[in-house]
A and B are shown apart, each in its own frame.
Chain A
Amino acid sequence: MIPSAFEYHRPTDVLTAVGLLNDHGDEARVLAGGHSLIPMMKLRMAAVSHLVDLQDIPELQIISVANGKVTIGAMVTQHAMINDAALAKAAPLVREAALQIADPQVRYCGTMGGNVANGDPANDMPGLMQCLDATLTLVGPKGTRTVKAREFYHAAFVTSREDDEILVSVSFDVPGGGHAYEKQKRKIGDYATAACAVLVGMNSGSCSSASISMTNLSDTPIWSKAAGDALIGTKCGPGDIEKAVAAALGDIDPTPDNRGPVAFKMHVAGIVIHRAITRAIVGA
């Protein structure tokens, strides 16, 4: 497994990186941690003539927690997310999810930006960002713009990002209440058979906010507004949870693969969502 040849670029600032993408059009790809892209290049399923490595751009490496807002740079690795005390305190859901991605070595390399921008429905961070209602910041030749994570994904590997844009960071409000990230997989190193991120806020016994998103159960991550709505205003009793699960299942469309047929995935999704909601409520 040997990739085709390419030119390698290692810019030290975002504008230069964007310039390289602009110069080389669709022959160029951004390289973050590389653990999705490099295997595809080795299998010669991704052809890249210009590889723009973002590792030397300091501003992409920052985790900031300030004024009730969390910002995570695109090149922050899962390992860094797991080990950042401020982040763990502000948004423990991120740490919990990051720990369930791939394996230790991959987590040292795998980044927020790569995971979010690749548009792979099997990646965990996109669903998580939707759950957190994150804002994605993109920089391109025309400047900087933001897109909500819930509006970013259109189909497998098709996102709102233009070819000459770079995702530089994600940001979201420090979440309150309870949270959970439940993921069923075949083994460590596998993608999810079904995964679900949940945030729940409770106010005097009644659900004040709920956000539920799912991973690898459609050709994009799915944030289910209906599922959250089914909980808001309820006491989150068993029947309410059932309704939320049913609503969530109504929004997904899994496809069969080696992890199993559709009926199995739908059933497991129901269980995983149920467990995530239940656990989030307990912590709320």
Chain B
Amino acid sequence: MNDQTPTSVERATKLKGLGHSRKRVEDVRFTQGKGNYVDDIKMPGMLFGDFVRSPYAHARIRSINTEKAMALPGVVAVLTAKDLEPLGLHWMPTLAGDKQMVLADGKVLFQGQEVAFVIAEDRYINADAIELVEVDYEELPVLTDANKAMAPDAPVLREDLAGQTSGAHGKKKHHNHIFLWEIGDEAATDAVIAGADVVAEETVYYHRTHPCPLETCGCVASMDKVNGKLTLWGTFQAPHVVRTVASLLSGIEEHNIRVVSPDIGGGFGNKVGVYPGYVCSIVASIVTGRPVKWIEDRMDNLMATAFARDYWMKGKISATKDGKITGLHCHVTADHGAFDACADPTKFPAGFMSICTGSYDIPVAYLGVDGVYTNKAPGGVAYRCSFRVTEAAYFIERMVEVLAIKLNMDAAELRRINFIRKDQFPYQSALGWEYDSGDYHTAWDKALKAVDYDGLRKEQADRVAAFKRGETRTLLGIGLSHFTEIVGAGPVKNCDILGMGMFDSCEIRIHPTGSAIARLGTISQGQGHATTFAQILASEIGISADSITIEEGDTDTAPYGLGTYGSRSTPVAGAAAAMAGRKIRAKAQMIAAYLLEVHDGDLEWDVDRFVVKGAPEQFKTMTEIAYASYHQAIPGVEPGLEAVSYYDPPNMTYPFGAYICVMEIDVDTGTHKVRRFYALDDCGTRINPMIIEGQVHGGATEAYAIAMGQELAYDEIGNVKTGTLMDFFIPTSWETPSYETDFTETPSPHHPIGAKGVGESPNVGGVPAFSNAVHDAFRPFGLKQSHMPHDQWRIWTIAHDLGLHG
């Protein structure tokens, strides 16, 4: 080595590996309008399919007359359940072990339900034809209140399940009951609570909302009858799962189905499920022999595909008189809509709601979840969330606040004395999880200090005094949230979807000149996988991230994987990438040893090369090794440099964070202003700080929307009241607050690079921070609980009910 040789640090910097705020490779296309989203796909002879949808939430269908629609020039076919029945496709299995109508079979169960599928030459003819399909409905009594679903006289929604006393998750108590999922020791919990110094009780409702990505769901199905191959392009967060389900449903062998997720315009959980539009498009393509495109419009999207939340959570939390939490009891009434189509791992019908003990050392706990049917759309997806973790975090972060009120304690201090301590990790929770790592006290103290928590409390007290003197009409709320996520589903031993284990995968091929391509089983929807996975690999194999192409989403080329949702890409596929990289390195080491004429063990890895121990001038770079691997005969070693890894994670990862929101609230108008939002995230090893920060901004904005106004609201006869973006709240740049981001770094002990995932944390932790700020502003006036969303009239109502309007 001479003085001209770059140092290890210089070479590492050039790789743009872990920890580098690498600019995104995707952006060159996206900023120039050269993305390729599903609605951009155009094929010769392509037809357009769309649905006749039910205007009613519950009705019997007396008849469907398609004659007039069929007579319209340009209409190719109109499919109804009767047409799908001979194929056995008028119903389809859901991801949650239930079944769902593809097209209305005798009745409709929610507004916007798919009744008939019109196939026409273009969208315009299609829209005209939809108006010409005549459906004769007989209205039935509507059930929209989950809390009334199991009343003895509640209408029977699912006549198809008549007489069934058990479902996919055990016994059914009522015709509208889906399952009761229980975990923890109820008797022991009840006993602790009965004997406790202090018990706080509250019902916490996490309202129904919707992921509403800017791009709706859609697909293009193309059945090539000559070679028997079906190609399906679509907005799929889990393309491999779609392929398997499509094969099982259609009977087409899996090798004859190619599923491609092109660029996806945001997912947030909306694009995990399998929807009637996909099935109908496939059938339509098979029937017509032509490609068929189906794209939802925004109202369809909000009405029919993938709501989130809708959990009524009744809690009891007990503590000693000095604030040590002793027990937690939670019962949930879960509104699943008309079909149980939750996208949860099979063994977890309420997802990971059992993370509801949060960041706290709670010795005993119980969770029971009753899932019920109502006349609302099916879904129950994880909206920027790992399977009901948002609900769990909101529940515990509200219960802790309610307990603080009961104890007359500062809510930050109450959290501090109940946090799981650093020395308790790995920590076994009362509801069965093994938290892998954490350092909550450090994060909490850093957060409180950053916002000058004590100063804020003093300001708040002064404000209350001024308010009482009539000098101001604005209150100050300090919203606290310390959340623990559970992401990276998950270990195949307990995590599967429809029997498909939730591993993920990565395949790497190093090219002879030292660049590479890697393919993974996940699919980016804006998270920047093409950028960050290359960074993981760069650090593992010593090839610059700029020289590594990342491909995802094409089932013909990518290795099988379970897709992108639940913040699982980094914990699972990211781990697979690292492990595949290590396999490359292991082979590279053998090749280097041969080339350097030393023993394998005499080499050590140094950023981008193997160096002979004690002789730094003797080395082989990865580029040299790659070339040799293809072009030099090496005894006992196969040519080429490729690896594949299927990674089955040993545990989930448990990212956590401390969020604090400072909010001004006008008690007279119900308006608010977020003065400050501080977000500290600990997502373990940080792969790309720029992208992490972007994820936090975006997730916190979703949290802001959900907490402060975003709602999928229904009237009493099941009409969707928030079906357009006029009423479904998505804040603009004007309303959206600014965020300060911060971090601590506690690597996951079991993940190959210590990363935990971050995409969903800000939604999970942000919602309680915003909501608690609203509650906190009114705490001095006696508010205990008020349901989200905290839009203007609801905040006004809080003030009004507390007598603050004089």
Contact = CB atoms under 8 A, between A and B. Distances in A.
A189 B724 CA distance: 12
A268 B796 CA distance: 9
Contact of A187 (B298, B732, B797, B805): B732
Nearest to A259: B793
A260 B721 contact: no
A186 B297 contact: no
B128 A259 contact: no
A103 interface: yes
A226 to B, nearest CB: 23
Contacts of A234: none
Contacts of A56: none
Main secondary structure of the interface of A (DSSP, over half): loop
Contact of B671 (A2, A4, A184, A259): A184
B669 interface: yes
B668 to A, nearest CB: 5
Interface string A260-274: 110110011001100
Contact of B732 (A1, A5, A189, A261): A189
B162 interface: no
A272 B670 CA distance: 12
Nearest to A271: B668
Contact of B792 (A186, A188, A189, A263): A186
Given A186-B729, A190-B726, A258-B727, A267 B127 contact: no
A262 B301 CA distance: 30
B299 interface: yes
Contacts of B128: 2, 4-5
B729 A187 contact: yes
Interface string B470-484: 000000000000000
Given A189-B726, A258-B727, A271-B668, A184 B792 contact: yes
A258 B791 CA distance: 10
Candidate in A189, A261, A264, A272 with the most chain B CB atoms within 10 angstroms: A264
Given A190-B726, A264-B792, A264-B797, 19 more contacts: A4-B128, A187-B709, A187-B731, A187-B732, A188-B735, A189-B725, A191-B726, A258-B713, A258-B721, A259-B792, A259-B793, A260-B793, A260-B796, A263-B800, A267-B668, A267-B796, A268-B792, A268-B796, A271-B668
B124 A186 contact: no
B670 A2 contact: no
B719 to A, nearest CB: 12
A193 B721 CA distance: 16
A154 interface: no
Contacts of B805: 267
Contacts of B726: 189-191
Chain A, interface size: which category? 20 to 34
Contacts of B299: 1
Nearest to B797: A264
A2 B727 CA distance: 20
Given A193-B792, A267-B668, A258 B734 contact: no
B524 interface: no
B638 interface: no
A255 to B, nearest CB: 13
A136 to B, nearest CB: 27
Contacts, number: 67
Contacts of A5: 124, 128
A264 B732 contact: no
13 contacts: A1-B297, A2-B127, A184-B669, A184-B792, A186-B709, A187-B731, A187-B735, A191-B726, A258-B721, A260-B670, A267-B800, A268-B792, A272-B669
Interface centre among B128, B725, B735, B793 (most CB of A within 10 A): B793
B792 A260 contact: yes
A268 B669 contact: yes
Contacts of A184: 669, 671, 792
B597 interface: no
A145 interface: no
B779 interface: no
Interface in B669-727: 669-671, 709, 713, 721-722, 725-727
Interface in A161-208: 184, 186-191, 193
A44 interface: yes
Contacts of B671: 184
B722 A258 contact: yes
Contacts of B406: none
A44 B124 CA distance: 13
Interface string B553-588: 000000000000000000000000000000000000
A264 B670 contact: yes
Interface string B770-793: 000000000000000000000111
B511 interface: no
Contact of A2 (B123, B669, B725): B123
Contacts of B731: 187
A94 to B, nearest CB: 21
A184 B735 CA distance: 13
B793 A264 contact: yes
Contacts of B413: none
A193 B792 CA distance: 10
Nearest to A4: B128
A186 B668 contact: no
B131 interface: yes
Nearest to B727: A258
Contacts of B793: 259-261, 264
A260 B722 CA distance: 13
Nearest to A260: B793
A258 B728 CA distance: 10
Interface in B244-297: 297
A267 B792 CA distance: 12
A203 B792 CA distance: 38
A268 B735 CA distance: 19
Contacts of A271: 668-669
A190 B727 CA distance: 8
Interface in B80-116: none
B734 to A, nearest CB: 5
Identify the 8 closest CB pairs spanning chains A and B, nearest first.
A260-B793, A2-B127, A264-B793, A188-B732, A188-B734, A271-B668, A258-B727, A264-B796
Given A264-B796, A268-B796, A44 B721 contact: no
B716 to A, nearest CB: 13
A241 B669 CA distance: 18
Contacts of B127: 1-2
Contacts of A272: 669
A188 B126 CA distance: 33
B140 to A, nearest CB: 26
A20 B797 CA distance: 51
A257 to B, nearest CB: 9
Nearest to A1: B297
Contacts of A191: 726
A271 B671 CA distance: 12
B474 to A, nearest CB: 12
A259 B713 CA distance: 12
B671 to A, nearest CB: 7
Contacts of B709: 186-187
A190 B792 CA distance: 13
B795 to A, nearest CB: 10
A188 B670 CA distance: 16
Contacts of B732: 103, 187-189
Contacts of A267: 668, 796, 800, 805
Nearest to B728: A258
Nearest to B297: A1
Interface in A1-36: 1-2, 4-5
B111 to A, nearest CB: 15
Contacts of B713: 258
Nearest to B805: A267
Contacts of B298: 1
Contact of B791 (A103, A186, A189, A268): A186
Nearest to B128: A4
Nearest to A272: B669
A234 B797 CA distance: 34
